[in-house]
Structure formats: C-alpha cells, structure tokens
Structure 1
Amino acid sequence: MELSFKHQLGLACVVLLLPALCSSQDSFTDSRATYYGSPDCYGNPRGACGFGEYGRTVNDGSVAGVSRLWRNGSGCGACYQARCKIPQYCDENGAYVVVTDYGEGDRTDFIMSPRAYSRLGRNADASAELFKYGVVDIEYRRVPCSYTGYNVVFKVHEHSRNPDYFAVVVLYVDGTYDVTAVELFQQDCQEWKPMRRAFGAMFDYSNPPNGEIYLRFQVSGSAGLYWVQSKNAISGDWKAGATYDTNVQLN
C-alpha cells in the first residue's frame, strides 16, 4: 500500500511528539548543547541520516544532530529529552528531540534545530537569553518515540533507480528501538539477503529482484535483537520517494 509522504508529514507536524513522549526511567547524562542556523527554524533536509524532508519537519522541527549518540547511523530516529541547567532560564521539562543528523561541536552531544533549542527555555524571553549563550550545559536521557496512529513506514530513497538500484529508510519507529539492519527476500533462492547500510539510516541493494519486494528490519531494544517483517510488499513498480506502509507497530 503506497502512502502520500507529503500527507504523512503534514500530519506529523500537527500531531507533535512533545506531549506524547513518555518519560524514561533511565537517569540523565550530563552534556552540552548548541544550535545550528536555519532560515525557517526547522531541521536540515540534507541531514546525514538520509531522512530528507521527514528529517526537517518531524516532531514539528524539534530535531538534532548528535555526535557520541550517532552509533554509526543506528542512532538515527532516536528520541531524547534534553534540559538545560540555568535555573532562571531553563524549562524543567526541556526539549524533546528526534535525531536526524550527525554533528560535532564544542564538546556537545546535541546540535539542535532552532525550534528545539528554543524549547529549552521557560518562556520566549528566557529562550532569547539561551540563544545568546550559544552553548549551554544540559542533561539528557533516551525516551520512547511515539507516533500515535502511524505504522512503521519504508520510504524508497530519492537516490533509487528502478530496476537497477533500490534504497530505503525506515520511518516512524516507535519506542526506544534502534534499526540495526534491513534485509530483502530473494524469492528465487528463498533466502533473506542483507542490504548495505549506505549511510545514516539508508540501506541499499544493487540489482534488486524483479516484482514485489519483501523487507524485514532488525531492531535493538530492551528485549535484545530481533527481526520484524513487513506485512506488506513493496510493489514491483516502486518509485523513488514513494512510501509504503508495513502495517507494523512496535509498541
């Protein structure tokens, strides 16, 4: 089943993750955060995760690039709560961000979009003061992502070319799971073939099989490593940029 990616993104901007993210029981880790420039305060559509427009607008643009938490791209899509440590300016709940990019700063674990960074402040005036600091001390913890009403989705990456080159990214992954691998089913030999992690969250395969494509992805979480198979196939006439519903929810 093919979905309209633009339609999904529109809904994602309305149904914010901010009130839906549940607190994790994990303790906070001390770090630092800064922000990057953006003409509209949203994220970067050219982020290293390969999410494209999704990486710019998911979570209403409250996104971040990370360094230590990148984990060779498996950290893409993870959700974090970050709160700064200047009492007169900082909101006690802080900002909830989705990882969409890789970035290194001045001993910072998070380089946030302006929208995310502004949410560290308790009000507009406080946020303006935090922007003057440029870099602030924070504490952060991993929290579950929640995309109420959404199944996990495969997006065919824009670099794909039917029939020679096939690449996907996995979107709307709930919970605290990392996507560690993706495999494609080779029907003529009845076995699963590993796709290559090209960069970030993008997995690719040269000369994919003709006809419908069946995929499964491996996740890492509190229950360890396990495989999740899409309940829907990707049609043989797939196109770059199209999205396909797996009919799978992880939570």
Structure 2
Amino acid sequence: MSGSWAPLVVLALLASAGNVAVDGGGPPHRNHGRFKAGPWKPAHATFYGGRNGSDTTAGACGYKDSVAEGYGLQTVAVSTALFNGGATCGACYEVRCTDSPDGCKAPGVSATPVTAPPLIVTATNLCPPNYHLPGDNGGWCNPPREHFDLTMPAYLQIAEEKAGIVPVSYRRVPCAKTGGIRYTINGNKYFNMVTVTNVGGAGDVAGLSVKGSKRVKWTPLSRNWGQVWQTGEDLTGESLTFRVMTGDHRRHTSWHVLPLDWQFGVTYQAPKNF
C-alpha cells in the first residue's frame, strides 16, 4: 500500500475485513517514529504469489489480510535468519536491486553496479527453508542466508521477472504509518488472541501488556506466533489499555483504546503511534 493512501481508505479496507472503531478525536496522527535506519547489507531477492499479489496476504506473522490491514502489497516473506521466530514481523526494509545488469530495473543509462530505485517493504511472512536444495541453488531461504521473497508486484518494481533471483542490498528503516496502532482481539473470555498492527517506528513488537480499567497491575502477554499475542485473563467488561514495546526498546501506551463494551473480532485504533 502506498503511504499516500488516505486514512479513510485504510479504515474502509479494514472495515471490509471486519468492524473498525477509532478511539479519540481530532486529525489523524502521523508519526515516522525515532527509529533510525540501519546499515546496508547484501542479500538476494525472489518473488512469490501471483501478479496481483494473490497468496501473499496472510502467513506466518498472523496477519489475516495484509492489504485490508493496511500493509498493501509492499510486503515480503523473509528467510529464517531474518524472521527471528516472528519477532521481525512488522519491520520495514529498504531493498535495492544491485549488480545485475540483466535483472535490475535501473533508471537512465546503465551503470556498474546497476542499481534500481529503492523499494520499502514490510515483513509479513516467513520464507521457509528448503533443505532438499543447496542454499546457492534453490534453497535461497536456508539458514544462514538473509533472503527476501517479495510479493510479485513489489519485486517487479526493482527487477525483471525473467531474472527470478537478483542480488540486493537492504537496510532496516523506520515504518511510516498513518493513524494509530491497531488492536484486534479474537478468541473467547478464557483465551484472548491479540493481533497488533499498523505499528510505526521500528514496526516490530517485542512485548505487549494489557491493563483493564478494574485492575491495578499490568498483565504481560506472550507471543503466540508472529504478531499474535495471548493471555488467559478474562478481559471482558473492562476498558483496556495496551502497552507496546518495539524491538528498539521504545514503549507506547494506548490508553483505554478498547471501550467497556469492546467486542471480539473488532479492530480498535488508538489516536497515536510511535
């Protein structure tokens, strides 16, 4: 999804996948966060799914529909070395195609190395290893390789389809988000599964805690898989405040983002982000 999409379009997409409630009034909050871009590193990139991004909108991060949840098709399945057991889900990367005159899409006159325009994508899935093939010939996502399996629409922005696999350079970059962090609870009163989306700054979630309006103490949640977090606490009948910690140890608290009458399966959006 292009960062220029209006917030109302994002909310409309979310509404198509389920109900949406926005907590707080005033203009939408936009915050690029204080996360700083990391160093450039070498890797390789391939593509998966169809030309329209089919078969790429769900996966190992727990997102049900990355398009409806605001990530669009600018997404990537990362190799095990980058996935980090799901801790990297939501992180943003700048990826450049390099050193492939026949594979990279480069502006203007060809140069050496050939470098295409940058592409910024969000990690939303895992590219699983294939131990039946060597890492340099088909097992592109085998450890310890750092590899990006891009959606086909994203891949075609930087490389030619015929190339199949191209060398790239990449770096972690801040995630620029429109609107606040979003929370969706599924499950039941005895087992809650909380999905956290639209996280700015570092983009990933390293820790999540919740506090009900009738409680004094915070309850830490554990990672179930990807960016889906779980707790067995009965949270019904209370307004809920969530505290998110990203991988760079920054914290953000979404006060009373879920009202007293919150419902399972509804996405609630905080007024602020990192």
How much is the aligned-residue C-alpha RMSD, in angstroms?
3.1
| Correspondence for 2:27 | none
| Correspondence for 2:244 | 217
Amino acid at match of 2:119: A
| Correspondence for 2:196 | 170
Amino acid at match of 2:200: D
Structure 1 spans left out of the alignment, 5+ residues: 12-19, 122-129
| Correspondence for 1:151 | 180
SS at structure 2 position matched to 1:168: strand
Assess, with a 3 A threshold, how the Cα gap between structure 1 residues 186 and 243 changes in structure 2: closer, same or farther: closer
Assess, with a 3 A threshold, how the Cα gap between structure 1 residues 9 and 211 changes in structure 2: closer, same or farther: closer
Map 1:1-150 onto structure 2 (within 5 A). Answer: 7-9=12-14, 25-38=37-50, 40-42=52-54, 44-54=56-66, 58-67=70-79, 68-85=81-98, 86-87=100-101, 89-91=104-106, 92-104=116-128, 105-106=139-140, 107=145, 109-121=147-159, 130-148=160-178, 150=179
SS at structure 2 position matched to 1:71: helix
Is 2:205–2:245's contact at 8 Å kept on the other side of the alignment? yes
* Inter-partner Cα distance in structure 2 for 1:238 and 1:45: 26
Is 1:4–1:242's contact at 8 Å kept on the other side of the alignment? no
Is 2:35–2:202's contact at 8 Å kept on the other side of the alignment? no
Which structure's relative contact order is higher, taking Cα pairs within 8 Å and 6+ residues apart?
2
Identity of aligned residues (%): 26
Cα shift readout 1:99-134 (whole Å, capped 9, x = no counterpart): 10111351451111111111113xxxxxxxx22221
Is 1:95–1:119's contact at 8 Å kept on the other side of the alignment? yes
Amino acid at match of 2:12: H
SS at structure 2 position matched to 1:69: helix
Amino acid at match of 2:194: V
Cα shift readout 1:109-164 (whole Å, capped 9, x = no counterpart): 1111111111113xxxxxxxx2222111111111111123x11111224xx22x22
SS at structure 1 position matched to 2:63: coil
* Inter-partner Cα distance in structure 1 for 2:216 and 2:89: 30
* Inter-partner Cα distance in structure 1 for 2:69 and 2:156: 16
Q: Which has the higher helix share?
A: 1
* Inter-partner Cα distance in structure 1 for 2:69 and 2:197: 13
SS at structure 2 position matched to 1:116: helix
* Larger Rg computed on CA atoms: 2
Assess, with a 3 A threshold, how the Cα gap between structure 1 residues 165 and 119 changes in structure 2: closer, same or farther: same
Is 1:232–1:245's contact at 8 Å kept on the other side of the alignment? no
Task: Measure how far apart 1:207 and its partner are.
Answer: 3.8
* Inter-partner Cα distance in structure 2 for 1:23 and 1:218: 13
Would you say 1:246 and 2:270 are equivalent positions? yes
Is 2:69–2:198's contact at 8 Å kept on the other side of the alignment? no
Amino acid at match of 1:218: M
* Inter-partner Cα distance in structure 1 for 2:245 and 2:164: 38
TM-score (norm 2): 0.71
SS at structure 1 position matched to 2:258: coil
* Inter-partner Cα distance in structure 2 for 1:64 and 1:208: 35
Assess, with a 3 A threshold, how the Cα gap between structure 1 residues 33 and 39 changes in structure 2: closer, same or farther: closer
Assess, with a 3 A threshold, how the Cα gap between structure 1 residues 23 and 196 changes in structure 2: closer, same or farther: closer
Amino acid at match of 1:52: K
TM-score (norm 1): 0.77
Cα shift readout 1:45-100 (whole Å, capped 9, x = no counterpart): 33111111136774431110112221221211111111112245334323211110
